Amino acid sequence: MVDLRAVAEDYLSHRFPRADPTYRRPTPRLDARFCRRVARLHDRAPLLGAGTEDAYLALRQEDLRQYRAIRDAGVRVRPWRGAGQPYPDSPTLIDEVTRTGVLWLYLTRSGHGPGSTDGHPMRHPSGVVEDGEPLCHNDILRVVHDLFGHVALRAGFGPRGEFAATGGHLLLYPARAWPALFTEQIGQICWYFYGDHLATGPRRYPEQKVFLYPPAFLDEFRGLLQPAR
């Protein structure tokens, strides 16, 4: 059995030696008005925004470092080729990964939402192959988010759990990657749970856009995170 919180703390101590190596789950204050503002900006944003390259490059590079740390710790990643999602809920994900040391990965090609594909930096090949399946960068992000976010921090799949997972996981990235991580995680979570589309239809994956929110959004999100415990 792999202690993913210990893996995260070891990663912190080696990758960011000046930072506090304690890896704990923050307690987010969920602000529906903030979430709706995030979702509405996503609706107005361009499909491919300008000035995103540095943040997305930093995100992809750090994802790969974290992925290697996870694999070096003995966690196996298996592509999920079955019907539907591999885990019905977060307790099942946390329990099964903790017991078995195996994560079943829901592949990006099985579900990523409409919008940009070839032009999306997270759809580019990562160079990682698992069980004969080439993984794109979004697959790598899904792995490290599930393991360092949901499993290590015991965070659920609802909006509060996703805020906690991303808020804690943020510390494993350099600051220049934070804007891209905010777009990919908090931007999409807010749209999924609080978007205006819910007034006329069901929840669905948001349109996949490549843009960065104004820095004030990231600052406000961090301000919603209570001290880690």
Name which of 44-53, 63-72, 111-120, 134-143 the model is least confident about. 111-120
* Phi and psi torsions of 210, nearest 5°: -115, 100
Contact residues for 125 (Cβ-Cβ < 8 A; gap 6+): 134, 135, 136, 137
- Which residue, 141, 146, 80, is CA-closest to 110? 80
Whether 153 and 165 have beta carbons less than 8 Å apart is answered as: yes
- Which residue, 43, 37, 8, 1, is CA-closest to 25? 8
CA dist 130 → 82, 95, 143, 207 (Å):
16, 22, 12, 27
Q: How far apart are CA 141 and CA 115, in angstroms?
A: 18
For residue 153, pLDDT over 90 is answered with yes
pLDDT of residue 83: 87
Q: Which residue has the higher pLDDT, 1 or 167?
A: 167
Where residue 228 falls among pLDDT bands split at 50, 70, 90? low
CB atoms within 10 A of CB 33: 8
CB atoms within 10 A of CB 184: 19
- Which residue, 74, 35, 54, 58, is CA-closest to 206? 35
| Mean pLDDT, residues 79-107 taken together | 96
pLDDT of residue 118: 64
| Mean pLDDT, residues 12-24 taken together | 95
Rg (the chain; Cα; Å):
17
Q: How far apart are CA 201 and CA 219, in angstroms?
A: 31
Q: Which residue has the higher pLDDT, 113 or 95?
A: 95
- Which residue, 202, 163, 158, 156, is CA-closest to 182? 163
pLDDT of residue 115: 61
Q: Mean pLDDT over all residues of the chain? A: 95
Q: What is the pTM of this model?
A: 0.95
| Mean pLDDT, residues 124-145 taken together | 98
For residue 76, pLDDT over 60 is answered with yes
131: which DSSP letter?
T
| Mean pLDDT, residues 85-108 taken together | 97
pLDDT of residue 58: 98
Angle between helices 159-169 and 215-223 (to 10 degrees): 100
Where residue 227 falls among pLDDT bands split at 50, 70, 90? low
Sign of CA dihedral 26, 185, 149, 82: positive
For residue 162, pLDDT over 70 is answered with yes
- Which residue, 85, 103, 221, is CA-closest to 151? 103
Q: What is the tens place of the pLDDT at every residue in 174-184? A: 999 999 999 99
Q: What is the tens place of the pLDDT at every residue in 24-56? A: 999 999 999 999 999 999 999 999 999 999 999
pLDDT of residue 75: 98
